[in-house]
Copies of this chain bind each other. A is one copy, B any other.
Amino acid sequence: MTYCVAIAVDAGLVFCSDSRTNAGIDRVSTYSKMFRFGVDGQRQFVILSSGNLGTTQATISRVKRDIKERAMQSLLTVESISEAADYLGGISRTVQEKHDAHGTGFEASFVIGGQIAGKKHRIMMVYPEGNHITSSHDTPYLQIGESKYGKPILDRILTRDLNLDTCALCALVSMDSTMRSNLSVGPPIEMLVYRTDTLTLDTPLRFDEDSEFLREVKRSWDQRLKDAFRQMPPFAWAAAWDKNPGRAVNYNDDQD
């Protein structure tokens, strides 16, 4: 599996992805799922990928070739992030259809985000079918892959006015929750930050398995979560029951 998350706030964008791929649990490998494209001062794009590795590699390869060969349409020519998402979705579908005769399993999803000079910074999620959605004011993030374990913390913490440090930390905590519950998501964890209107990408970060900082995040969050739970008010049996007098459920003898 894969877990990738992209966050879009006023201050900029945060991209975070794991690097584990597997075809069966004894065919586990490490592949980056984060790809960067851009011309400083003009346009910057980051793509995160999830799904069939054949499809994602062929898709990214084609994106690179189109840039290199100055194709009619490429990430150098698109005029908006939305057009970039359409372009990416089109390639992804073409690649999938080449193999589709043999059934399904070739699906891939992508997140593409960035900024083009004079336009707003945005993130888009590209479905296997090639269509796409963007984030919203209330849901300032997009996820692909194994997204459920890490979703609650994003829902609770993220707002558009957060600074990028907080967003980056939130992405890492979300990644940590996912890694803890799903073995097929794992380090190295890659992270990339884009600051609004800079039109240049920050230095990419990479946290390996033995990264002291990643371990510190893990340890620290684990401890704080346990502390938070311990500080919860005690389970109020009487209160719970008193509030709902007589609402017993399903006694086996009084039903058909």
Contact = CB atoms under 8 A, between A and B. Distances in A.
A173 B217 contact: no
A256 B64 contact: yes
A125 B143 CA distance: 30
Contact of A232 (B35, B38, B220): B220
Given A61-B256, A239-B213, A206 B156 contact: no
Contacts of A148: 148-149, 181
Number of identical protomers: 2
Interface in A204-237: 204-208, 211-213, 216-217, 220-222, 224-229, 231-237
Given A152-B177, A157-B229, A225-B228, A236 B250 contact: no
A208 B245 CA distance: 11
Contacts of A172: 235
A157 B226 CA distance: 7
Contacts of A180: 152, 155-156
Contacts of A64: 252, 255-256
Give the interface size class of chain A: 35 or more
Contacts of A157: 226, 229
Given A149-B148, A157-B226, A169-B235, A252 B205 contact: no
Interface of A: 32, 34-38, 61, 64, 67, 148-149, 151-153, 155-157, 165-166, 168-170, 172-173, 177, 180-181, 190-191, 203-208, 211-213, 216-217, 220-222, 224-229, 231-237, 239-241, 243-244, 247-252, 255-256
Please list the 4 inter-chain residue pairs (A to B) with the smallest Cβ-Cβ separation, ordered nearest first. A148-B148, A224-B228, A228-B228, A165-B235
